Structure formats: structure tokens, C-alpha cells
Amino acid sequence: MSGHDGAPGASHGAVPGASGEATGGRLVLLGNAIVDLVMRVPALPERGGDIISQDTTLTTGGGFNVLTAAHRLGLPAVYAGAHGTGPFGDRVRADLAREGIEVPLDPVAEEDTGFCVAFVDGGGERTFATSLGAEARLTEAHARAVLAALRPGDLVQISGYGLAYPVNGPVLASLVARLPEHTRVFLDPGPLADQIPEEVLEAVLARCDWVSCNQREGRLLTGRDDAREAAAALAARLGPRTGVLLRADADGCWLVPPGGEPAHIPGRRVTAVDSNGAGDAHTGAFLALLGHGLDLSSAVEGANAAAAFAVTRHGPATGPTVGELLDLLDGEPLAARLSSALGR
């Protein structure tokens, strides 16, 4: 399939930030901000078994992690997903407000926001079980409100979780097809990549400027185990107008620029204590740095550093602030480039 319809040079095929100028837009998330019940356990219990949690926290997660990661690096952010009326919905809205993230949609009446139970084992790996709520109840009225709220230069991030939900998927596919040319579209297919209906996934991929996924998701989308091969196969599937980032944990990631060849961008070796939210920190940082006008290689290097920072902290929303990212990169050439772009 082709990554985009339209003639060569159509505006939605351009790479934001590639020529050095800032987009002047915001990150608009078409995803799900939910409540995470995070339990740290030595290991997952056997089937039918039980285990005592070493630590349990209640926090806002899901798309909130991407929004905070981008906003902490100076990119204005908007949560354009559904949210409910109840204690979880109240918690999500309070946390979004605390982080300075705009919420343009009204709450869904008589239904609370959903939640996720996240088990983090002794190796830092995470396993999830999710209960859906108001965030999985998008309507055409919501879609029209989102379209009306968009501004020139906005970066639109789509979560594969929403695409896999029976109600949200068709609404989001229709919404994406109507996005104005000035918006740039980014997709993270997420762990449910193989559960997204084909007609929904194809409609969204046809409008994407970038797809960012981890190795498991890359394998689900391409059938390739090798990270480089999966990145190249996904880029070939999408076509020359769409870029690919395939995240490979501590090994960094594979970058395939639109129409280009795979290039390995090394990661940073750190002692991981919690990998929950690391991919979100990478995505949010990548979008923020592109929005600030960084070139692709610098944006990806900065995203790798942001993800490395995130796994050294407990919790899902652990993307660094500008100061924390620059401290991590102290003395490296990348630090000077980021400092200039971020106005520090």
C-alpha cells in the first residue's frame, strides 16, 4: 500500500522540523488518558496463583504519558480523547490540568474513565490488564469538536489502543481521513496492533507521516523478528511519504526517514527500574523536539535519551523536563543542539 494519497509534494508528506523551522503547533492526542493501578511484584504469579505487591500506586497513565513527555520539553499539548464523570475521570482531569494540558471535550455523562492494572516485575518489564470506560466511547460529535479545535501546524498523535476499541476505531478512522492538510499525523500502534481491524488500520496508515512502535509491535505488523528488517518492511508497507521509528529498548531505535534507508540510532545504557511509559517518553520527546525544529537524527537521539531517563524512575509518566534532559546529556554535542532549540 502507499503511505499517502495525493500528488508528490503534497503538504502532509513534509517532515516537521526537517528543514530547521519550528512547527508553531501543539501536540493533539487522539488517544486515551486513563488511571493506572501500578503494582511492583518480584515476578508474575503462576496461573491460579497469587503474589504480594511490594509497592502499589494509583496514577494517571495511557496517553497522559505522551502528553506530559512532550509538554515537559516545551510543546503545548491537548488531550482530545473522551473522559468520564466519576472519581477516575476527575483524577485524570486534575492531573491534566496540573501539567498544563488542554482538554477541549466535555465529559461523557454517567460513565467513568477506565483503568489499567500494570504489573512491573523485578526486571522492570510490565504486563497490563485494562478495563474500558468513557475513553472508549468516542462519538461523531466528539470527532467534529476535535476537528474544530485544530490549529495550523498541530501534530496529531494517534494511539493504537483507541483504534482497537470497537466504538472508537471507526470514529477515529473517519476523523483522520478528514484532518486538514496542515496537520502532521503520528501513530503508535501499541500492544494491540494485531487486534486493530484491518480497514481501520489501513485508513489511518494511509494518512500517517510517522509510525513509531517497539519490536514486538513491529513483528506483529510485519512478521519480522529482526529489528532492522522489521523497520525496513514497515517502511516499505507504508510507502515513501511515511517515516518509521522502531524502538529497540536499550539498543536505541531504527530510524527510516520518509523515502530513506534504515539507520541505527544507538541507545544509552542505564540501570532500568521501571520500563512502564518508556515508549511514551520516547514518542513525546520525539514529537516535542521535531516541533522545536530539531533535525531528525537529533530528535531521535534526544528521544532515546528521554526514554533512558524515564526507565530510571518509577511510574509511567516519567519523561524528563528540559533541565533533566540537558543534565543527562551534559558535555555531549547533542546537549548544545537541544539547548539552542529549546531556548536554554
The pLDDT score that the predictor gives to residue 24 is: 63
The pLDDT score that the predictor gives to residue 328 is: 92
The pLDDT score that the predictor gives to residue 126 is: 80
The CA-atom distances, in angstroms, between 3 and each of 15, 116, 204 are 14, 33, 10
Nearest to 204 by CA among 188, 191, 192: 188
- How far apart CA 309 and CA 311 sit, in angstroms, is 6
Q: Which residues of the chain have pLDDT under 50?
A: 1-23
Q: Which three cell numbers stand for residue 308?
A: 533512558
Question: Hunting for cell 544509552 — which residue is that?
Answer: 268
The pLDDT score that the predictor gives to residue 317 is: 84
Output b/e per residue, 46-69; b: 16+ Cβ within 10 A: eeeeeeeeeeeeebbbbbbbbbbb
The CA-atom distances, in angstroms, between 74 and each of 140, 267, 284, 330 are 31, 23, 11, 19
- How far apart CA 147 and CA 204 sit, in angstroms, is 16
End-to-end, the C-alpha distance of the chain in Å comes to 43
Global pTM exceeds 0.85: yes
The CA-atom distances, in angstroms, between 171 and each of 139, 206, 280, 315 are 7, 16, 23, 31
| DSSP 3-state percent helix, strand, coil across the chain (nearest 5) | 40, 20, 45
